[in-house]
Amino acid sequence: MNALRRLWSLFVPYRGWMLLGISVALITLLANIALMSTSAWFLTAMAAAGATGTAMNYFTPAALIRASAIIRTAGRYGERLINHEATFRLIARLRVWFYEHLEPLAPARLQRYHSGDLLSRIRADIDALDGLYVRVLVPVAVANMATLFFSFFLASFHPLLALSALVFWGVAGVGLPIWAERRGRIPGKRLAEDEGALRAAVVDGLQGLAELSVYGAAERQAKRIDGLSRQMITDQGRLASDQALTQAGVGLCAGLSLWVMLWIAVPLVEGGQIEPPVLALLALFIIASFEAVAPLPAAFQILGRTLAAARRLFAIVDAKPEVIDPPTPSPRPKRFDIRCQGLSFTYPGATEPALVGLDLEVPEGGRLAILGPTGSGKSTLFHLILRFWEPDAGTIAIGGDDIRLFQGDDLRRSIAVVSQHTHLFAANIRDNLLIANPNATQDQIESACRVAQIHDFIAALPEGYDTWVGETGVKLSGGQARRVAIARALLKDAPILLLDEPTEGLDAATERNLMQALDRLMAGRTVLLIAHRPAGLDWADKILVLDRGRVSAYGDRSVIPAAMQTVLSSDLV
Residues that bind ligand ADP (CB under 6 A): 111, 347, 350, 354, 372, 374-380
Q: Which is nearer to Mg ion, 317 or 567 (CB)?
A: 567
Does residue 419 touch Mg ion according to CB under 5 A?
no
Q: CA 27, CA 212: separation in Å to the nearest integer?
A: 58
Q: How many residues bind Mg ion (CB under 5 A)?
A: 2
Q: Which is nearer to ligand ADP, 253 or 355 (CB)?
A: 355
**495 touches which of ligand ADP, Mg ion, none (CB within 5 to 8 A by kind)?**
none
CB of 358 to ligand ADP, least distance (A): 11
CB of 111 to ligand ADP, least distance (A): 6
**354 touches which of ligand ADP, Mg ion, none (CB within 5 to 8 A by kind)?**
ligand ADP
DSSP 3-state helix, strand, coil percentages of the chain (rounded to 5)? 65, 10, 25
Does residue 432 touch Mg ion according to CB under 5 A?
no
CB of 388 to ligand ADP, least distance (A): 9
Q: Which is nearer to ligand ADP, 72 or 532 (CB)?
A: 532
**439 touches which of ligand ADP, Mg ion, none (CB within 5 to 8 A by kind)?**
none
CB of 447 to Mg ion, least distance (A): 29
Does residue 68 touch Mg ion according to CB under 5 A?
no
Residue 530: strand, helix, or coil: strand
Residues 533-572 that bind Mg ion (CB under 5 A): none
**Strands 355-362 and 526-530, sheet pairing:** unpaired
Q: CA 55, CA 508: separation in Å to the nearest integer?
A: 107
CB of 457 to ligand ADP, least distance (A): 28
Cross-sheet strand order for the sheet of 526-530: 415-418, 496-500, 526-530, 367-371, 542-547, 550-555
Taking the alpha carbons of 59, 61, 63, 69 in that order, is the dihedral positive or negative?
A: negative
HEC per residue, 204-216: HHHHCHHHHHHCC
Binding piece for Mg ion, criterion CB under 5 A, among 255-263, 395-403, 414-422, 457-465? 414-422
**Residue 256 identity (one-letter amino acid):** L
CB of 359 to ligand ADP, least distance (A): 17
Q: Which is nearer to ligand ADP, 353 or 495 (CB)?
A: 353
Cβ-contact 349, 546 below 8 angstroms: no
Q: Which is nearer to ligand ADP, 65 or 485 (CB)?
A: 485
Q: Which is nearer to ligand ADP, 109 or 450 (CB)?
A: 109
**380 touches which of ligand ADP, Mg ion, none (CB within 5 to 8 A by kind)?**
ligand ADP
Closest to 235 in 3D by CA, of 189, 174, 294? 189
Q: CA 268, CA 254: separation in Å to the nearest integer?
A: 21
Q: Which is nearer to Mg ion, 326 or 478 (CB)?
A: 478
**376 touches which of Mg ion, ligand ADP, none (CB within 5 to 8 A by kind)?**
ligand ADP
Phi/psi at 192 (nearest 5 deg)? -65, -40
Half-sphere exposure of 480 (CA within 13 A, CB side): 14
Q: Any idea what DSSP says for residue 157?
A: T
Q: In this chain, which of 257, 379, 453, 526 binds Mg ion, going by CB under 5 A? A: 379
Q: Which is nearer to ligand ADP, 333 or 377 (CB)?
A: 377
Q: CA 383, CA 411: separation in Å to the nearest integer?
A: 12
CB of 458 to ligand ADP, least distance (A): 29
Binding piece for Mg ion, criterion CB under 5 A, among 264-272, 372-380, 431-439, 562-570? 372-380
CB of 382 to Mg ion, least distance (A): 8
Cβ-contact 414, 496 below 8 angstroms: yes
The string of DSSP codes covering 321-370 is PSS---SSPPP--S---EEEEEEEE--TT-SS-SEEEEEEEE-TT-EEEE
Cβ-contact 25, 142 below 8 angstroms: yes
Q: CA 228, CA 239: separation in Å to the nearest integer?
A: 17
Does residue 380 touch Mg ion according to CB under 5 A?
no
Q: Which is nearer to Mg ion, 420 or 467 (CB)?
A: 420
Please give the residue ranges that form the binding site for Mg ion (CB under 5 A). Answer: 379, 420
